[in-house]
Structure 1
Amino acid sequence: MEALLGPFEVSFVQRALWGGVLVSLTCALAGTWVVLRGMAFFGEAVSHGMLPGVALASLLGGSVFVGGVLAAGAMAAGVTVLSRSPRLSRDTSIGLLFVGMLSIGVIVVSHSRSFAVDLTAFLFGDVLAVTPRDLVHLAGALAVVAAVAFAGHRSFLALAFDPRKAHTLGLSPKWAHAALLALVTLAVVASFHVVGTLLVFGMLIAPPATAVLWARTVPGIMLGSAVLGCAATYTGLLVSWHAGTAAGATITATAVGFFLVSALAAHVRGLLTRRSSPLPVPTPPSAAAQGTARTERTPTP
């Protein structure tokens, strides 16, 4: 029992656990729509597109969080504008902005040799360095994400499954899509400080993708994703403490591991269900049907 609970008696591990739980809840609300809407590429692009803002904020001595918000907001706005072009697909627009923002960030970083350590924290996070102030920011971001997800649930549902029906219901797909982009952007920006931009994508995708294999409703997917994310946080911190591995990467690897195990279990369950289901027995044709068949086969004079 000491091996399971002992590490969490340390104050910074407790803060890391609470930070990971808040990130898991935030990513569960936003990541569910990312998986259902097929917006994984956008989530990855936003997580990397924050680099210019974070780099400039660090070099100028400003707030890294504010820099990330501005860069991610510019990324989301650019995707919205370019996606309106009839000649460019949404993936093309995201890819162009993704590469452009990442290149600008690398150029900014290359002008400062002392930025290597901060860049590592940006990419991979430092969950063990979470402060009480970070927890307050994460709690505030969770409250905003929850409010947006609750207010836009009906619109997001119509947008994810049948965008054309949104017009029939009197909803605005464009505004719903913009709100969904803002929701994902806020979740990524709020979480990157804890698990890093390269790893926040895993927390945003892996738990909801795992829950989709078993849940049948959107609230069920969100609840399952939240539980899986919290379980991955606890398990990852525990393994990191005993194995001496990077905490943020271990948490994300655990979340992905949950998905792989769940996908295998779902596949095995499907095979067993198909094998156990009885084969349909062909029913013999009725006498009337046989008579009709003989009449149809008899040539008319």
Structure 2
Amino acid sequence: MLDDFFMRALIAGSGVALAAGPLGCFIVWRRMAYFGDTISHSALLGVALGFLADINLVLAVFAVAGLVAVGLMVMQRANTLSSDAILGILSHSTLAIGLVIVAFMTWLRIDLMAYLFGDILAVTTQDIAIIYGGGAAALAVLALIWTRLLADTVSFDVARAEGLRPEAARFIFMLLVAAVVALTMKVVGILLITALLIIPGAAARNFATTPETMAVIAAGIGVVGVVGGLHGSLYLDTPAGPTIVVAALLLFLASLGVRGLTQWRASRVAEDHHAV
């Protein structure tokens, strides 16, 4: 029989995967992996400012991540630097500033490892409620902007010509990613949340035939990765957060193998048909 803390970890991790999977699909489609890293790195600055101002850490992280998203859009419009250069500056600067602020707060003991790599086994029922409530809200908003965001992903100019306001959809999506990072940092950590946003979506891409199917499969792969990673952590006595990411990686590699085998069989069938 599994302990209560382990069951809470399973439930919380599954909630994170369900919320991160569909969002991660757009990150994969739009090639925004570096943006995910930037938002997650900025979370440490939010944690530091939250402790400094004595406010809710989730709200502090969301506020900082939201400001980073605004800064990114403003600098992209200025068109003075490439997007990857801007993301690099924002990512490393916010992470460094956060670490410096934490170092100055000598009166406060902060377990940086828990925030960087997560502490999923320490989640509470309140954390679970926040994860599922916030995750459901994020997915509801994603569903509302799904068509506009998908059109923007295919062609920004076409989406704008059709009056779909792609800029607004893009900004809302950035805020959704920021919200998910803020809600889930306690589970897998600031440095690992990007993996749960990207890897399930990348794996689902090898199976899906439609965007909607890919979102559902990505959420499912994320849940399987969480369950497998937690059980692996239990039996191998390894850190839970990193083990979850390793499990997700193994699922991605398996998806590549299945895709390669499917393509090989399809080519063999085509060759046999051509020979006949």
Report the TM-score when normalising by structure 2. Answer: 0.93
Per the alignment, residue 74 of structure 2 pairs with 81
- Residue equivalent to 2:214: 221
Matches within 5 A, 1:257-296: 257-278=250-271
- Aligned match for 2:38, one of 32, 45, 48: 45
What is the Cα deviation at residue 116 of structure 1?
6.8
Measured against aligned partners, the alpha-carbon deviations of 1:86-120 in whole angstroms (never above 9, x if no partner) come to: 23222222111112211211211222457675211
1:165 alignment counterpart: 158
CA drift of 1:183 comes to 1.6
Q: Which shifted more, 144-153 or 60-69?
A: 60-69
User: What amino acid does structure 2 have at the position aligned with 1:153?
Assistant: W
How far does residue 263 in structure 1 lie from its aligned partner after superposition? Answer: 1.2
What percentage of aligned pairs have identical amino acids?
33
Deviates further, 209-218 or 64-73: 64-73
Is 1:149 aligned with 2:135?
A: no
Deviations 1:170-216 (A, max 9, x none): 21121111111112111221111111011111110011110011101
Cα deviations by residue, 1:206-261 (Å, 9 ceiling, x for unpaired):
11110011101111011101111111111111111111111111111101111012
Q: What letter is aligned with 1:163?
A: F
Asked if residue 204 in structure 1 is aligned to residue 197 in structure 2, the reply is: yes
AA paired with 1:198? L
CA distance in 2 between partners of 1:247 and 1:100 (Å): 28
Q: Aligned Cα RMSD in Å?
A: 1.9
Q: Across the two proteins, how many residue pairs are aligned to each other?
A: 275
1:256 equivalent in alignment to 2:249: yes
CA distance in 2, matches of 1:82, 1:152: 24
CA distance in structure 2 between the partners assigned to 1:78 and 1:134 by the alignment: 29
Distance across 1 between alignment mates of 2:109 and 2:146:
41
Residues 51 and 71, structure 1, Cα contact 8 Å, conserved in 2:
no
CA distance in 1 between counterparts of 2:222 and 2:272 reads 40
Shift of 1:68: 1.0
CA contact (8 A) 1:26 1:142 kept: yes
The answer (yes or no) to whether the contact 1:29–1:145 under 8 Å persists in 2 is no
Distance 1:87 1:105 in 2: 26
Q: For residue 105 of structure 1, what is the amino acid of its counterpart?
A: G
Which structure: larger Rg?
1
**Cα distance in 2, alignment partners of residues 99 and 273 from structure 1:** 45
Partner SS state of residue 223, structure 1: helix
**Matching of residue 96 in structure 1 with residue 101 in structure 2:** no
Q: Which amino acid aligns with 2:245?
A: T
Partners of 1:281 and 1:56 lie apart in 2 by 66
Does the 8 A contact of 2:48 with 2:102 survive in 1?
yes
Structure 2 CA distance for partners of 1:201 and 1:281, relative to 1, 3 Å = closer
Q: Which runs of 5+ in 2 are unaligned?
A: none
Query: Residue 80 of structure 1 aligns to which amino acid in structure 2?
Result: M
- Which protein, 1 or 2, shows the higher relative CO under an 8 Å CA cutoff with sep ≥ 6? 2
Judged with a 3 Å threshold, the aligned counterparts in structure 2 of structure 1 residues 132 and 109 are, in CA distance, closer, same or farther, namely same
1:107 aligns with 2:100: yes
1:280 Cα deviation (Å)? Answer: 8.5
The alignment partner of 2:111 has SS state of helix
Name the CA distance, whole Å, in 2 between partners of 1:280 and 1:18.
Answer: 49
- Supply the distance in 2 between the matched residues of 1:229 and 1:150 (Cα, whole angstroms): 19
Structure 1 237/92 Cα, relative in aligned 2: closer, same or farther at 3 Å? same
Whether the 8 Å contact between 1:127 and 1:195 is mirrored in structure 2 is yes
Distance 2:192 2:274 in 1: 52
Find the residue that maps to 1:38 and give its secondary structure.
Answer: coil
| Equivalent-residue separation in structure 1 for 2:132 and 2:273 (angstroms) | 55
CA contact (8 A) 2:14 2:226 kept: yes
Deviation at 1:20, TM superposition (A): 0.5
CA contact 2:59–2:182 (8 Å) conserved in 1:
no
CA contact (8 A) 2:43 2:181 kept: no
